[in-house]
Structures are given as C-alpha cells and as structure tokens.
Structure 1
Amino acid sequence: MSHAAAFPAPARATAAVAARATDLSKVYGQGETQVVALDQVSVEFGRGRFTAIMGPSGSGKSTLMHCMAGLDSISSGSALIGDTELTGLNDKKLTQLRRDKIGFIFQAFNLLPTLTALENITLPMDIAGRKADRDWLDRIVSTVGLSGRLKHRPAQLSGGQQQRVAVARALASQPEIIFADEPTGNLDSRSGAEVLGFLRNSVRAMQQTVVMVTHDPVAAAYADRVIFLADGRIVEELYEPTADAVLDRMRLFDAKNRTS
C-alpha cells in the first residue's frame, strides 16, 4: 500500500518539541522479581509530526507511551509534555494535564453507548466545562467523515466509524499531543487504512502531533518516523518509512534475538 502521492514527505528537522523524555526509566518490582521495562530512554517528539513506536512484545513500547502520557509513574529520569514536567505532579494536576493537553485513541474505542457520536466527541470538554470551538469541531467532523452520523449511537455505527468518533474526540480539544495505542487493532484493513489516513491528515493539514504504538508495518508506514525499542531501549530510528523497510528492520531484530 502506498500513500506517498497523497502525502508529500516531511522535512526531517522540526523546531518545536511537543514531548520529550530524558533518561527515562521504568522499573517494576524489586530484587529477583525486578523488571526494567524502560532503561534510560531519551527521545523527542516533534510538534506537527507523526511518530510510530514499534518493537517486540515486552520491548517497552506501550510502557513508554503510558509514561509519556502520565498514565504510569516514572521510576527515574524525566518526561515533559510541552513545558510541563510530569514527574512530581499530583493526581489532580496529572488529570488536568491529560484532559487539557493530551488526546488518547485506544484499540478499544472507549465510547459511551448511551451518548450520540457528537456527545462522545465533546464529552472531555463537557466534563472540563469548556465550550467546543464550533469551527474547529466542524472541521474535525468533516475531516473524519462523520457529518451524517453525529446523531447515531455507537451501536448504530460500524467499528471503523466508532474509531473515527474516537479520533475526532482526541482531536476536538486541540491537544498538545495525541497518543494512539494500536488504534487499528480491532479494525479490518480498509477501516484501518481510513483511520490512519485521518491521523496522517491531522498531522499534515492541522499540525497535530501524533505518537502511535503499533506492531503493524503498514500502519507504521503512515508515520514520519519510526522508533524501534528492544529490551527497554531505543535501538534504531527510521525516517520516511515504507512498510517494506519497517518489515526488514523487524526481521533483522528477530534474527538478532534468535542468535543472541
């Protein structure tokens, strides 16, 4: 699958940083049961860029995303969203940060079944007591192709349409950064491609910042950059990836793991 014609290749350099980890470590347990999930990871996520995080099971990719998003605590090092340092924030401040500066898209759509698509999209802002920017909301709804489905409840929508609602919800509050954890994992290939295209377009046309954890080389090829993790460390980065190039890297890592 190729999408190069629809989306021109990005420049590699970026002036602004949406999120940054510095010597970030995450350790679970103690003594003989201790597991180092992240081992002094340092990485930057450029504003207006789409980054995919890949690696074998247990490599730390989901842990990195959860620590950067304030969903999991950090053992040592630092994590910043914009200029805000996550370490040391209390639960109230973390909740406020996630609500105001971060968008989330998960494999499970996490929609409330009793609410319409529009109500699900605006729910985080409603909870925060903020009015949605109507022009921005209309643009988001149009971008993800939901204009005719806003009064439908989740049960009346296909899986792909439900994930589009989740994408629109993540974009609606104009967050600093969106974290997507296997966002196409529950979708067929066509619906998955549509959702990835919407994320890609949000980066290109709206300067949104997206960080996505995925195991799928085709999904990773929608990103500007792919970061590969192994044993809690970043082992390689790939810019302007293609699905074949990503797959080649993954095969190389598998071969190294079998011989080590």
Structure 2
Amino acid sequence: MSAILRDLPHTNHNEAIAASVVSGVKQYGERGTTVRALDGVTVDFHSGGFTAIMGPSGSGKSTLMHCAAGLDRLTDGRAYIGGTELGALGDRELTLLRRTHVGFVFQAFNLVPTLSARENILLPLDLAGSAPDPVLLDELVTRLELRERLAHRPGELSGGQQQRVAVARALVSRPRIVFADEPTGNLDTRSGAEVLDFLRTAARELGQTIVMVTHDPIAAAYADRAVLLQDGRVVDDIDEPTAERVLDRMQRLGR
C-alpha cells in the first residue's frame, strides 16, 4: 500500500481481487419515485483480468462501474478497491485513493485541450506530486505509437490518437485497476480495434486489471470475461467471450 493510503481503513479482503462489489444496492430518487439501479450485485474483478460489463440500456452497467470505481457511493452493500472498503472513506480519502490506485478511460477522452499529449499523459502523476517511471512511460509511448505526437495538443490529434493518449494517462501511474467507460464509442472501427487490442495487451502482458463498460459484443470479445446485467442484477458471467455468444445472450435478455 502506498504511503498516501497508509492510514486508510483496511481489511483482510482478498488482495488477488483488484476491486469488488458485495451485495451492492444503488437507489436514486425519493420515496415513491425510487429507481433501484443496482439490486444486490456481487462481483469480483481479479487482478490482471480484463472484464467487460454489458447489458441492455438501463441495466445498471454504468452505475456498477461508478460505484466500483468510487465515483458514486452505494446505497447499501460494500465496494472495495484492493483491501480498502470505499464506504469507510471520507471524500478526501476517496479522492486520494482514486488518484493513486484507479485509472479512467472515458468515451469522450477528457483530455485537457491546452496541454500537450505528454502533459496530458503525466497529469495524474503531476497532481499526485509523483515522478513518472521512465521505463514504463517509454513502453507506453512506444506501444501506443505516440512518440511523434507527444508535443501535439488534443485538437491536433485524431480521435484514435486522443484515446491512446487517454489510455497512456490511465496506465502511467501503475494503478491497481483501470475503468474504461465505452472507450471506443467515439472511434471508427479501425481506431477502436487498436485501442481494444492494447487494453487486452495491457492485461495479458503488463498485468493491468481492466474493467470496461460496453454495449458492443465485438468489443466484449477482446476481454477475458463478460459480466451481463439486467434490471440491476448479474444474470450471466461468461469466460472467454466471443462476439457471437455475447450477442446471443444479449438478444435473449432483450426478449
């Protein structure tokens, strides 16, 4: 555990699990108009695994990601990053944990337009007051084919290049887990495939834990595992998913 989190509440929760939700419930709205987005979800995300979260619109997949990542709080149940229960943390502690142990990749890239690609990549480390690992930074820049683009600002990059910068930013601090929310939603087929291929490589060769929310069965096929939600509940958990298996299951859920 890093020094910045040394005093955070800690349990003996299995350290081979990068993140988990246990009996998670999330409700929105007031009495009489309550919507239960998560309804008793229990799911583990194993260290070094690449998991796709899928489900019909309104199934709770984005809510699950937000609660597992500490971007939102459960109404009931428990969420963990490593051995730390998120519900036991105050807002400042939760911010420190996300900054230190969690990476994010969003559909809209979320790059700072006035910063260069290199500055965007290093932004999480700058905010934490940490120096980059030069070996890791060089490997990310090389694998993501960004070396010739490091001085460019986001407006000078293609969508695929911007998302590769966002992926490098998520990985450069060696987070315990990376959450990717529809990371290929704004990309063409080729650029999307390049990003997905690297996320798979990051899990298999770099040991990075990745959880990806997607509606696309083809994207889910890049993952090691697909967790399917419906009406706020986990209804299937598919190892080594293929696009065909996931699409068939999604169609059956739709019916």
Range moving further from structure 2, 52-61 or 144-153: 144-153
Query: Are the counterparts in 1 of residues 59 and 230 from structure 2 also a CA contact under 8 Å?
Result: yes
CA positional deviation for 1:141? 1.1
Q: C-alpha separation between the residues in 2 aligned to 1:241 and 1:69?
A: 23
Residue 35 (structure 2) aligns with: 35
Structure 1 residue 162 and structure 2 residue 162: aligned?
yes
Q: Give the secondary-structure state (helix, strand or coil) at the position aligned to 1:223.
A: coil
Residue 251 (structure 2) aligns with: 251
Residue 16 (structure 2) aligns with: 16
Residue 102 (structure 2) aligns with: 102
Residue 10 (structure 1) aligns with: none
The one-letter code matched in structure 2 to 1:39 is D
Q: C-alpha separation between the residues in 2 aligned to 1:15 and 1:152?
A: 39
Q: C-alpha separation between the residues in 1 aligned to 2:17 and 2:83?
A: 9
Structure 1 residue 89 and structure 2 residue 89: aligned?
yes
Residue 241 (structure 2) aligns with: 241
Residue 78 (structure 1) aligns with: 78
Query: Are the counterparts in 1 of residues 52 and 211 from structure 2 also a CA contact under 8 Å?
Result: yes
Q: C-alpha separation between the residues in 2 aligned to 1:80 and 1:252?
A: 31
CA positional deviation for 1:231? 0.4
Q: C-alpha separation between the residues in 2 aligned to 1:198 and 1:86?
A: 29
Structure 1 residue 126 and structure 2 residue 121: aligned?
no
Q: C-alpha separation between the residues in 2 aligned to 1:45 and 1:128?
A: 25
The Cα offsets for residues 70-121 of structure 1, whole Å up to 9 and x where unpaired, read as 1111111100000111002111001101100000000001111111100000
The one-letter code matched in structure 2 to 1:45 is F
Q: C-alpha separation between the residues in 1 aligned to 2:113 and 2:16?
A: 38
The one-letter code matched in structure 1 to 2:43 is V
Among all aligned residue pairs of Structure 1 and Structure 2, give the percentage whose two residues are the same amino acid.
Answer: 62
Residue 66 (structure 1) aligns with: 66
The one-letter code matched in structure 1 to 2:61 is K
Q: C-alpha separation between the residues in 2 aligned to 1:69 and 1:241?
A: 23
Give aligned pairs, total: 242
Q: C-alpha separation between the residues in 2 aligned to 1:127 and 1:21?
A: 28
Q: C-alpha separation between the residues in 2 aligned to 1:144 and 1:83?
A: 31
Q: How does 1:94-243 map to 2 (within 5 A)?
A: 94-243=94-243
Q: C-alpha separation between the residues in 1 aligned to 2:20 and 2:155?
A: 38
Residue 26 (structure 2) aligns with: 26
CA positional deviation for 1:15? 8.5
Residue 44 (structure 1) aligns with: 44
CA positional deviation for 1:237? 0.9
Q: Give the secondary-structure state (helix, strand or coil) at the position aligned to 2:89.
A: coil
CA positional deviation for 1:143? 1.5
The Cα offsets for residues 212-235 of structure 1, whole Å up to 9 and x where unpaired, read as 000000000000000000000000
Query: Are the counterparts in 1 of residues 15 and 82 from structure 2 also a CA contact under 8 Å?
Result: no
Q: C-alpha separation between the residues in 1 aligned to 2:118 and 2:145?
A: 13
The one-letter code matched in structure 1 to 2:136 is W
CA positional deviation for 1:147? 1.3
The one-letter code matched in structure 2 to 1:97 is L
Q: C-alpha separation between the residues in 1 aligned to 2:140 and 2:204?
A: 13
The one-letter code matched in structure 1 to 2:64 is L
Q: C-alpha separation between the residues in 2 aligned to 1:165 and 1:49?
A: 22
Q: Given the two structures, how large is their TM-score scaled by the length of structure 2?
A: 0.93
CA positional deviation for 1:30? 2.6
Aligned-residue Cα RMSD (Å) equals: 1.1
Query: Are the counterparts in 1 of residues 221 and 241 from structure 2 also a CA contact under 8 Å?
Result: yes
Residue 6 (structure 1) aligns with: none
Q: Which runs of 4+ in 1 moved over 4 A?
A: none
Q: C-alpha separation between the residues in 1 aligned to 2:254 and 2:37?
A: 19
Q: Given the two structures, how large is their TM-score scaled by the length of structure 1?
A: 0.91
